[in-house]
Structure 1
């Protein structure tokens, strides 16, 4: 009787350990996301209450926009170097975030002449398009596969917040109607820039998570990477 119980314990123990590991990884990810959201609010608050430059192009919020976009671009460049089976798709993402990084620095580039940011963006787009054309066989299928992966949800939601929601929710017409005679364009700017920072933070979080995914996939190609990403955190 004791032998059967021992065997059952031996059988269940790996499963219990795996469950605990997954729960631990979920808890870590939850805490990391919570910290990320708190950091976004803190950055905006520092601009508004401490630095008094919430509407400035040199604000902490704007600087974080650029840094997070650059960090995301570098992550996908690194992955493109390592993962030739998805290089076309990864170069596409790297190009997109590089262009977003350049656009976030338009105020500095305007010192050359107004609208000069279009030139480096054009160079980045052309360079990315050329490299993607060399790797066009590794674009469509990896793109379709990424929609099924959990980390890509953060990236795509972040993109939608930056490119769509922040623009719509931060439009002056909305806040003029809501605030009436008390309308202050600085308020609208704080809302819009704060939402953009949230979007960039989610993009960067998903990009970092994708490194865990790709590392797990290389180590355990026979296992489901969707499950493995959480287990590898």
Structure 2
């Protein structure tokens, strides 16, 4: 008797191709934006805290924060992890506004706001630590987690080290120009923020799938309990 063979599905391959195209376009647009910015911003305003690049970075962080905040309230089973990620990205957004907050509120205002939010997130995570750990166990094996780590390493570690003045002074020696250092560092940061934005989109779909599975498991357990009750009666 011939056994039926299961035909391999191309769904995973198609998803990979779509991701490659869509996310590749995002990275391409980020590079083209940097090129446009260099050609259109004038003199001393290039890649400074008042530049368009800084504004775009803030918009990316705001988009990430809104995605994580939406997930935290829409999918309750993911609340601790999603709110923690929201706190991280929104605290980063506050940090990007440090000059504005220091000027219009008080010196060090961004530290107060950012650390207050992070402390609140830590408190909420601690209260729901079992759910948080369960979320993390599922999250670490997902595509979103890898992209998120890549974005964090790029923006918060490598870009900071790469943008050190002592490094660029050694590279350019007597021809050292601060603008070159700023362009390199801010470009890397923008790339890192683009990765973090991609990770937040992937996290949304991960949370959506996780919620569907959680609901399905709950219904299965409820049906099983009903069967036991009927058998027992």
TM-score range, shorter-chain basis? 0.7 to 0.9
Counterpart check, 1:26 vs 2:19: no
CA distance in 2, matches of 1:215, 1:55: 37
Structure 2: runs of 5+ lacking an equivalent: 217-233
CA distance in 2, matches of 1:39, 1:137: 40
**SS in structure 1 of the partner of residue 103 of structure 2:** coil
**SS in structure 2 of the partner of residue 74 of structure 1:** helix
Question: Which position in structure 2 is the counterpart of 1:42?
Answer: 32
CA RMSD, 1 decimal: 2.3
Return closer, same or farther for 1:175/1:129 CA change in 2, 3 Å cut-off: same
Counterpart check, 1:165 vs 2:155: no
Question: Which position in structure 2 is the counterpart of 1:209?
Answer: 202
> What is the total number of aligned residue pairs between the two structures?
212
Q: Is the 8 A contact 1:88 1:137 kept in 2?
A: no
Structure 1 stretch displaced more, 147-156 or 112-121: 112-121
- Residues 163-202 of structure 1: pairs in structure 2 closer than 5 A: 163-202=156-195
- Residues 128-139 of structure 1: pairs in structure 2 closer than 5 A: 128-139=121-132
- The superposition leaves residues 42-83 of structure 1 with CA deviations (integer Å, 9 ceiling, x where unpaired) of 222222111233232121211111111111111111111123
Kindly state the Cα deviation for residue 220 of structure 1 after the two structures are TM-superposed: 5.3
- The superposition leaves residues 103-158 of structure 1 with CA deviations (integer Å, 9 ceiling, x where unpaired) of 01112112223332112213322332333233222222322321111111111110
Counterpart check, 1:74 vs 2:66: yes
Kindly state the Cα deviation for residue 183 of structure 1 after the two structures are TM-superposed: 1.1
Kindly state the Cα deviation for residue 203 of structure 1 after the two structures are TM-superposed: 0.6
Kindly state the Cα deviation for residue 88 of structure 1 after the two structures are TM-superposed: 1.5
Q: TM-score, normalised by structure 1?
A: 0.82
Question: Which position in structure 1 is the counterpart of 2:119?
Answer: 126
Structure 1: runs of 5+ lacking an equivalent: 223-233
Question: Which position in structure 1 is the counterpart of 2:57?
Answer: 65
CA distance in 1, matches of 2:152, 2:160: 12
